[in-house]
Amino acid sequence: MADAVLLRPARGRRRAPGARRVRRQLRGARRTPAHGHRHREGPTVRAREPLRGETARRGRPDGHHRLPQHRGRRVRRRAHRPDPGALGRRKAGPQVIGVVGEALIDLEVAQTDARHPIAHPGGSPMNVAVTLGRLGSDVAFLGRLLSDAFGKLLRTHLTESNVDLRWAVDAAEPTSLAIVSVALGGSAGYAFHVQGTADWQWSGWELPADPDLEAVHAGSLALALEPGGEVVGRWLEGLATGTTISVDPNVRPALLGDRDGYRDNVDRWISFSSIVKVSDEDLEWIWPGADPDELAGRWVDKGCKLVVVTRGGRGSLAHCGGERFEVPTAKTEIVDTVGAGDALSGALLDWLSRHDRLDQQGLARLSADEAREAVEFASRVAAITCSRAGANPPRRSELD
Q: Compute φ and ψ for 162, nearest 5 degrees.
A: 65, 35
Q: In what order do the strands lie in the sheet with 104-110?
A: 113-122, 104-110, 177-182, 188-193
pLDDT of residue 196: 92
Type of residue at 56: A
Read off the pTM. Answer: 0.75
Distance, in Å, from the CA atom of 238 to the CA atom of 210, rounded to the nearest integer, reads 10
Environment class of 142 (CB within 10 Å of its CB; exposed 0-12, middle 13-18, buried 19+): buried
* Beta-ladder partners of 180: 108, 190
Q: Which segments in the chain show pLDDT lower than 70?
A: 1-94, 184-186
User: What's the DSSP call for residue 22?
Assistant: H
Q: 124-134 vs 149-160: helix axis angle to the nearest 10?
A: 30
Backbone region of residue 386 per phi and psi (left: phi > 0; alpha: psi in -120 to 50; beta: other values): alpha
Sign of the C-alpha dihedral computed for residues 112, 114, 117 and 120 taken in this order? positive
Q: How far apart are the first and last CA of the chain?
A: 79
Q: What torsion, rounded to 10 degrees, do the Cα atoms 251, 252, 255, 257 define?
A: 50
Give SS3 for 191: strand
Q: Compute φ and ψ for 30, nearest 5 degrees.
A: -95, -5
Distance, in Å, from the CA atom of 397 to the CA atom of 400, rounded to the nearest integer, reads 6
Q: What is the pLDDT of residues 121-173, one digit of tens each?
A: 999 999 999 999 999 999 999 999 998 899 999 999 999 999 999 999 999 99
pLDDT of residue 8: 39
pLDDT of residue 184: 67
**CB neighbours of 370 closer than 8 A, spacing ≥ 6?**
355, 357
ω before 33 within 30° of 0 (cis)? Answer: no
pLDDT of residue 54: 37
Distance, in Å, from the CA atom of 379 to the CA atom of 372, rounded to the nearest integer, reads 10
The CATH fold of domain 86-398:
UDP-N-acetylmuramoyl-L-alanine:D-glutamate ligase (3.40.1190)
Q: What is the pLDDT of residues 171-216, one digit of tens each?
A: 999 999 988 787 766 677 778 899 999 999 999 999 999 898 999 9
Strands, E assignment, 249-320: 275-279, 306-310, 316-320
